[in-house]
Chains A and B, each alone.
Chain A
């Protein structure tokens, strides 16, 4: 499974989304994520990719799109 597929798997697990969001679609503007689902998304990403995400990194700007999530995970694992 590619990293993007893993991200989509987590997004679907924490939201009611029935279709995959476009890579640069805002997950907050579309209502897919909000203040209550962002922590779930981050916990899901930690488990899916075996990374530790500090609380200080929990800002919407880092997790607003699939592309941004992928870039953030790259920065945590490289």
Chain B
């Protein structure tokens, strides 16, 4: 048995508006909002590293959990925008937390990485103890203004959660993970390059695969989409979130949304959304919660959490 014990998040202070992006990319600000639901996003300062954002989120999360770094048995760090191929930010974060012998593993698969880390952590917590899951992304350094369709979408930020073997406010009841490598080229970041995305492939496949993953996971646990009170989803595009809600036949307001303020922060977005949801409603959940994501790979999946 594993539990969600706490969330935390951190956003860099610099906000970049659609008007600012219009000046840079030529994409009309109103069309950015219409096609994505994004009004602004945050960018990290030049001297800030992926591990730095992750550390800030981790510290908030540890404080919310009532834990210190020495209580962590394993770190899983999701990032698709790390500064170097290896070592990744996991080991750097561990060092910044003062941990010199705690395993710290990178999950470098971008958007779906945080959900995959949560799913892994749910299985690993009984063996390793408290698992610190961190997702941190500096996407603003991985975009090109010459590709406005992609550049307008992304922002920077970090989220974190603690998966505990013995204490928490939600029990992780089941997980479902999927990969289809036939779409590996549809969303990619080459070494030294900028993000390349075939938007139509991503939206079309996500629109079909996310609802199916959620429905199948719920059905396996004798639940229906209408039984779920809160959906915490990767904040990729507001129109995609609405489409998933429609496909599941649940009201849109059950889907927590902050994409208007932060844009798509890749793997960090799920944990930032979860953390803001928890801040907004710190009462013990009494109904099922679903986390869902989709991203490069393609990798996608869902996590079912039930009241503890």
Contacts and interface: CB of A to CB of B under 8 A. Distances in A.
Contact of A38 (B182, B204, B240, B247): B204
A58 B208 contact: yes
Interface string B175-218: 00000101000000000000000011011110111000000000
Interface residues of A, number: 11
Interface string A27-69: 0000000111011001100000000000110101000000000
A39 B203 CA distance: 9
Interface residues of B, number: 15
Contacts of A34: 200
Interface in A1-46: 34-36, 38-39, 42-43
Contact of A36 (B180, B182, B207, B209): B207
Contacts of A39: 203-204, 207-208, 243
Interface in B111-147: none
Contacts of B202: 35
Interface string B62-83: 0000000000000000000000
Given A35-B199, A35-B200, A60-B200, A55 B243 contact: no
B226 interface: no
Nearest to A42: B208
A43 B248 CA distance: 13
A34 B34 CA distance: 14
A36 B243 contact: yes
B286 interface: no
A62 to B, nearest CB: 11
Contact of A35 (B180, B204, B209): B204
A35 to B, nearest CB: 4
A71 B85 CA distance: 47
Given A36-B239, A36-B243, A39-B243, A55 B200 contact: no
The 10 A-B residue pairs with the shortest CB-CB distance in the complex, in nearest-first order: A35-B203, A39-B207, A35-B200, A58-B204, A38-B204, A55-B208, A39-B208, A36-B239, A39-B204, A35-B204
Contact of A55 (B199, B205, B240, B247): B205
Given A35-B199, A55-B208, 13 more contacts: A34-B200, A35-B202, A35-B203, A35-B204, A36-B207, A36-B239, A36-B243, A38-B200, A39-B204, A39-B207, A42-B208, A55-B205, A58-B205
B152 to A, nearest CB: 15
Contacts of A56: 182
A13 to B, nearest CB: 13
Contacts of A42: 208
A35 B36 CA distance: 12
Nearest to B200: A35
Nearest to A28: B200
A55 B210 CA distance: 12
A30 B243 CA distance: 22
28 contacts: A34-B200, A35-B199, A35-B200, A35-B202, A35-B203, A35-B204, A36-B203, A36-B207, A36-B239, A36-B240, A36-B243, A38-B200, A38-B204, A39-B203, A39-B204, A39-B207, A39-B208, A39-B243, A42-B208, A43-B247, A55-B180, A55-B205, A55-B208, A55-B209, A58-B204, A58-B205, A58-B208, A60-B200
